[in-house]
Amino acid sequence: MSEINVGKFLQEKSEDLKLELLAGVEGLPRSIKVPDVNRPGLALSGYFEHFPAERIQIIGLGENSYLSTLSSEKRIEKLEKVLSFGDIPCVILARSLEPFPEMLEAHQKYKVPLLRTSMRTSQLAGDLIFYLEDKMASSTSMHGVLVSVYGLGVMLVGNAGIGKSECALELVKRGHMLVADDVVEIRQRSGGILIGKGEEIVRHHMEVRGLGIIDIRSLFGIGYILDETRIELMINLEEWGPDRQYERVGLEEHYTTILEVKVPEVTFPVRPGRNLAVLVEIASLNQRLKNRGHYTAQQLNQRLIQLMNQK
């Protein structure tokens, strides 16, 4: 899992999260190492067992109310104990709370950035976790074409020149959406969800042999492109071989693994006259049925077994 320093986080999210830096500017190089947040209420009261100091700490109304009941000496003592415990990346004051003078002093002393936002605590926590999980997720890149077919993210893979881009172009003509061509950047979100997108500089462009580079957005319009999508099906295109055994019934489920996540995989043999775009559409619809627990081949097999047993 990658890391991000507080300075870069503030640069990227200060506008979205309405963040301002109040103290501890020298701590901006500190690293955020985990995609999670914590409210340090127990730590402020003196209980440090299982205190996750590696997380961003959020101070809301509850913590602020508790600090307001303390004397100035006790308040600085509590704050210094928290800030000196472990390697806290930063502390964020929610709801535009006014920082105590002792808080500003402690953050300057221990060089821990103190930020403030007008957002509610729960909303801030949710937005922070979503951003950090996305930013720090495991990632990789694959050669292929990613399209959204009937709302299902389908990754087309295969040897160079097999017809991936041509198949994707036909799918776009049939009303589906292009996400990425040639190189697909993939990152893993929590829950084993794989998100794919194209490289920024060539996003929404395709390379078609004999034609060159084409701009899908300019040719077809905004409704035929998508910035990113969840990868839910892998379709492998390969040249047909007489000795190769291909799925005829569909009783066996095949998977490939990306970033330790299993993705359903289908292999289509490529031969002259086969309409690959239609096959991809049917495979996508069939996978959507499977995602909802409907396995056609298995159900047909069970009915045949029941019929045979009756005889």
Which residues are known to be catalytic? 143, 164, 182, 248
- 144: exposed, middle or buried (C-beta count within 10 Å: 0-12, 13-18, 19+)? buried
Contact yes or no for 72/48 (Cβ under 8 A): no
The CA angle 231-234-235, to the nearest 5 degrees, is 140
- DSSP for residue 185: E
44 three-state secondary structure? helix
Contact yes or no for 207/182 (Cβ under 8 A): yes
What angle in degrees, to the nearest 10, is found between the helix axes of 72-83 and 61-68? Answer: 140
Contact yes or no for 167/176 (Cβ under 8 A): no
H helical segments located in 33-120: 41-44, 61-68, 72-83, 101-110
What residues form DSSP beta bridges with 225?
178
- 113: exposed, middle or buried (C-beta count within 10 Å: 0-12, 13-18, 19+)? buried
Residue whose structure tokens are 């002393």: 109
Q: Which of 120, 136, 145, 147 is nearest to 58 (CA)?
A: 120
Q: Which residues contact 44 (CB under 8 A, 6 or more apart)?
A: 63, 66, 67, 78, 79, 82
